[in-house]
Amino acid sequence: MHPNPVSISLSSYGADFVRQTGQEQFLGLLSAAGVSRVELREELFASAPDAAALGAVIAALGLECLYSTPLELWTEQGIPDPLLLHKLEIARALGAVALKVSLGHYDKRCDVTALAALLPADGPLLLVENDQTAQGGRLQPMLDFFQRAEVLGLRLGMTFDIGNWQWQGESARQAARQLGRWVRYVHCKAVQRRVDGRLVAVPPQAADLQAWSAMMTEFDPGVVRAVEYPLAGDDLLALTRAQVRSLSALGAEEGVSHA
């Protein structure tokens, strides 16, 4: 067993390659590589999957499942996206431990109490991620949202994407200090600026891993951490195994798995 559980976001193998191959074709590879969780990506399904059948295959391989959708939790009108319930139903059919969405257009005028009737008492946990957008990738709106959700006792948590903070010029370490108490899942990716000025996700170097390891102390021990950077090579099994070992070792303490 690895010290800490590791997830693989299937987008890491390349969007086009995964769409052509089918996400279900990677499940055996993940199991053999010692992965704890598969992050299925809604946008990478060519057509709607048979969620129950796919979930059964995932469970049979001993993997956890997380369902990721590009849905923004808060619409521009300041209400929870009406499609949230449908996405939660898909996640439940998959047997997923969590549904991952982005924050969207949240501000202090949003009625957070409106979420109470939408969140299930059991089943998939709603995880809200900081994305790369101006509305959903800044610290203060995330902090305001989680503080209000906590007061209301809402059943949700945070997906903390280490790399995404850079798109809005925010400090990942500062965000980790302030948001760590709500973090249940960590997306790991290093970020590099290309010659054309665009930021892109890249595999981590030693300095990145060192910074991530220090950041893990802000989260609960044993938090699930995910590869969300390019995994490309002739031997995907060996490459995936190596990344699982690397991310699993981040943080000094062992702990229990969180959704």
For 214, the token pair is 């220090």
| CATH architecture label of 6-248 | Alpha-Beta Barrel (3.20)
SS3 letters for the chain? CCCCCEEEEHHHHCHHHHHHHCHHHHHHHHHHCCCCEEEEEHHHCCCCCCHHHHHHHHHHCCCEEEEEEEEEEECCCCCECCCHHHHHHHHHHHCCCEEEEEEECCCCCCCHHHHCCCCCCCCCEEEEECCCCCCCCCHHHHHHHHHHHHHHCCCEEEEEECCHHHHHCCCHHHHHHHHHHHEEEEEECEEEECCCCCEEEECCCHHHHHHHHHHHHHCCCCCEEEECCCCCCCCHHHHHHHHHHHHHCCCCCCCCCCC
Residue 249: φ, ψ to 5°: -80, -10
Check if the beta carbon of residue 102 is closer than 8 Å to that of residue 129.
yes
Q: Which residue has the tokens 């959700």?
A: 149
For strands 37-41 and 64-74, give the pairing: parallel
Contact between residue 101 and residue 127 where contact means Cβ atoms under 8 Å apart: yes
Beta carbons within 8 Å of 191's beta carbon, 6+ residues apart: 163, 166, 199, 200, 201, 202
Contact 76, 109 (CB under 8 A): no
For the chain, the structural domain boundaries read 6-248
pLDDT tens for the chain, residues 1 to 259: 468 999 999 999 999 999 999 999 999 999 999 999 999 999 999 999 999 999 999 999 999 999 999 999 999 999 999 999 999 999 999 999 999 999 999 999 999 999 999 999 999 999 999 999 999 999 999 999 999 999 999 999 999 999 999 999 999 999 999 999 999 999 999 999 999 999 999 999 999 999 999 999 999 999 999 999 999 999 999 999 999 999 999 985 444 444 5
Nearest 5°: phi and psi at 215? -65, -30
pTM reported for the whole predicted model? 0.95
